[in-house]
């Protein structure tokens, strides 16, 4: 009844509207109990949902996508006035992170983490009223994301796929180091001030002479830019940008690489385990302004088009988040219950999966609420070019 209400009810997906769609107004209280106060395990439901999708679809990547849900008041779990980095301002909101199953043309959220500010995690009264588990602490979004990936791969048995995330507002070296320690393939977006060293053929680097910011490396590479194309599942057809790439390491690394002068396609070859480098890709979408986006990956044997095609699946995730999940109630939970929020977004994920699978098979007609034009780039997207 709840999932059907998310799919079919018009407007905000409140308990009242969901119950009215079922033509059972008296069920409103039961639905409230079912989501906010019940004890069913949302992780078990997410795990089963993920396995169903992985049986029918082959994921290209796991995209970790931030979610900001503006709210009025401060009683809904996790709501506080918080600085939202990609908006550049304070917002009264919930902040969360979704881990999305993605392949060109289709994406679906698999797991969620609610990022609680210290005003909730350090307040024993709020914790008790919201029934926040003792192990839930305040932590950066990327830590929540890595924890979710470990759970999905080790506990749920899902396949290893590249993790794609935006770490421009965090310590890129710390995150890259942790992902390398976990032997997890990744493609992360870093800011222009992130520091790297150019990988050397042999021998240790001398002091800081080889250390550069991503922005300074882009200026070095600008003359080597080439047009890179890949199939764009969001827009259809092929997408092309100017790009260049180079082998790099983190500043504290002393690793070499067999041929750092081979800076374009293919970016690398099978290198000895002790000589593995990273790939830094500078991507110029706007050749007039000349402000590139920067991606770093440890998948050194892949071509630049392959890596950029995977990295830009983030745009598809944001489109589907706004065009599908938001329209079926992702932003609509109101309540103090930590478990209630998780059960609600789990059922939103189930409804999203229903739409995605049926659209992929060409049999989903949808409702006026679920339909809509393909979204263009949104000025408040966390993936915007700034």
Q: What is the pLDDT of residue 205?
A: 54
Angle of helix 338-360 versus helix 42-56 axis, rounded to 10: 10
Q: Tell me what the mean pLDDT of segment 137-152 comes to.
A: 94
The per-residue pLDDT for 204 is: 55
C-alpha–C-alpha distance, residues 155 and 175, integer Å: 22
| Dist CA 239 CA 40 (whole Å) | 44
Mean pLDDT across 308-312? 91
Tokens of 226: 């080439």
Quote the percentage of the chain above a pLDDT of 70. Answer: 81
Q: What is the mean pLDDT of the chain?
A: 83
CA atoms within 13 A on the CB side of 341: 25
pLDDT at 67 over 90: yes
- pLDDT bin (cut points 50, 70, 90) of residue 206 is low
What tokens does 44 get?
Answer: 């078990």
For residues 269-276, give the mean pLDDT: 43
End-to-end CA distance of the chain: 42
- Share of residues in the chain with pLDDT > 90 (%): 53
Name the pairing type of β-strands 106-115 and 89-103.
antiparallel
Ordered by start, the domain boundaries in the chain are: 1-38, 41-163+329-360, 172-314
Flag whether pLDDT at 333 surpasses 60.
Answer: yes
pLDDT single digits (tens) 348-359: 999 999 998 888
pLDDT tens, residue by residue, 126-135: 999 999 999 9
pLDDT category at 302 given cuts 50, 70, 90 is confident
Does the structure show a pLDDT above 70 at 76? yes
Query: Is the pLDDT confidence value at 104 over 70?
Result: yes
Distance (Å, rounded) from C-alpha 354 to C-alpha 364? 9
Rounded average pLDDT over 149-153? 93
pLDDT of residue 156: 93
pLDDT higher than 90, residue 271: no
- Asked whether the predicted pLDDT for residue 269 surpasses 70, the reply is no
Residue 369 has pLDDT above 70, yes or no: no
Provide mean pLDDT across the span 176-201. Answer: 90
274 has a pLDDT exceeding 60? no
CA–CA separation, 29 and 37 (whole Å): 11
Handedness of CA 16, 17, 18, 23 (dihedral sign): positive
Count CA within 13 A, CB hemisphere, residue 252: 4
With 0.75 as the threshold, say if the pTM is over it.
yes
Average pLDDT over residues 138-144: 93
Say what the pLDDT of residue 179 is. Answer: 93
In terms of Cβ atoms closer than 10 Å to its own Cβ (0-12, 13-18, 19+), residue 244 is buried
Task: Give the model's pLDDT for residue 263.
Answer: 41
CA 347 to chain centroid, in Å, comes to 19
Neighbours of 356 (CB within 10 A): 20
Identify the H or E element spanning 349: helix 338-360
């Amino acid at each position: 009844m709840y999932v059907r209400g998310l799919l079919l009810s018009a407007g905000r997906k409140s308990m009242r509207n969901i119950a009215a769609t079922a033509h059972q107004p008296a069920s409103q209280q039961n639905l409230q109990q079912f989501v906010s106060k019940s004890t069913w395990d949302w992780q078990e439901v997410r795990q089963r949902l993920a396995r169903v999708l992985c049986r029918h679809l082959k994921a290209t990547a796991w995209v970790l996508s931030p979610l900001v849900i503006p709210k009025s008041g401060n009683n809904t779990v996790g709501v506080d006035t918080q600085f939202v980095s990609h908006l550049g301002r304070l917002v009264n909101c919930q902040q969360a992170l979704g881990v999305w199953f993605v392949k060109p043309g289709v994406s679906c959220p698999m797991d969620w983490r609610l990022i609680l500010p210290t005003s909730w995690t350090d307040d024993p009264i709020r914790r008790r009223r919201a029934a926040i588990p003792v192990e839930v602490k305040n932590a950066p979004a990327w830590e929540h994301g890595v924890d979710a990936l470990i759970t999905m791969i080790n506990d749920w048995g899902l396949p290893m796929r590249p993790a794609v995330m935006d770490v421009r507002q965090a310590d890129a070296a710390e995150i890259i180091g942790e992902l390398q320690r976990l032997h997890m393939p990744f493609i992360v977006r870093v800011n222009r001030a992130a520091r790297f060293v150019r990988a050397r053929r042999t021998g240790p680097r001398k002091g800081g002479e080889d250390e550069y910011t991503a922005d300074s490396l882009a200026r070095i590479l600008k003359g080597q830019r080439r047009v890179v194309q890949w199939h764009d599942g969001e827009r259809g057809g092929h997408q092309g940008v100017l790009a260049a790439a180079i082998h790099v390491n983190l500043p504290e690394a002393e690793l070499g690489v067999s041929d750092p002068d081979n800076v374009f396609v293919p970016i690398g070859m099978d290198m000895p385990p002790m000589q593995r480098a990273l790939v830094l890709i500078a991507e110029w979408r706007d050749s007039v302004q000349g402000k590139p986006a920067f991606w770093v990956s440890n998948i050194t044997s892949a071509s630049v088009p392959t890596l950029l095609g995977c990295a830009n699946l983030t745009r598809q995730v944001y489109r589907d988040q706004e065009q599908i999940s938001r329209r079926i109630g992702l932003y609509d939970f109101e309540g103090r219950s930590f478990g209630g929020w998780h059960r609600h977004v789990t059922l939103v994920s189930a409804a999203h999966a229903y739409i995605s699978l049926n659209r992929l098979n060409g049999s989903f007609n949808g409702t006026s609420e679920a339909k809509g034009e393909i979204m263009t780039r949104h000025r408040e997207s966390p993936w915007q070019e700034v």
